[in-house]
Amino acid sequence: MVTAGSWFTVCASCRTIRDKDGSWHELSQPLGTHEEALVTHTVCPRCALRLYPEFYAKLVRRYPEVFQIEH
Ligand SMILES: [Zn+2]
């Protein structure tokens, strides 16, 4: 789902974008079709926690750099 090669990912639920630095941003403009083809659709930490509370714990263990929510 999350690969080292993806340069950014988009939350499939709220459309928040994760950039290559690993931080999540609100998507201010819709992506063009070319950009859509490049993104890896996933869910951001907040949506993962909200939508899949049981699955979220596994995601954090497997991809802590992606899904760990900073406090
Ligand atoms: Zn989201």
Q: How far apart are CA 29 and CA 57, in angstroms?
A: 31
In this prediction, residue 6 carries a pLDDT of: 47
In total, how many domains does the chain have? 1
Q: How far is the CA of 32 from the centre of ligand 1 (A)?
A: 19
Long-range contacts, 61-66 (Cβ 8 Å, 24+): 63/2, 65/22, 66/2, 66/18, 66/22
In a domain, 2, yes or no: no
pLDDT band with cut points at 50, 70 and 90 for residue 11 = confident
Q: How far is the CA of 63 from the centre of ligand 1 (A)?
A: 16
Q: How far is the CA of 55 from the centre of ligand 1 (A)?
A: 15
Determine how many CB atoms are found less than 10 A away from the CB of residue 24.
19
In a domain, 59, yes or no: yes
Q: Is 29 helix (H, G, I), strand (E, B) or coil?
A: coil
In a domain, 51, yes or no: yes
Q: How far is the CA of 44 from the centre of ligand 1 (A)?
A: 4
In a domain, 3, yes or no: no
Q: How far apart are CA 36 and CA 60, in angstroms?
A: 25
Q: Is the pTM of this model over 0.75?
A: no
In a domain, 46, yes or no: yes
pLDDT tens-digit profile of 12-68?
Answer: 788 888 877 778 888 766 666 655 555 566 778 888 889 888 888 888 898 888 778
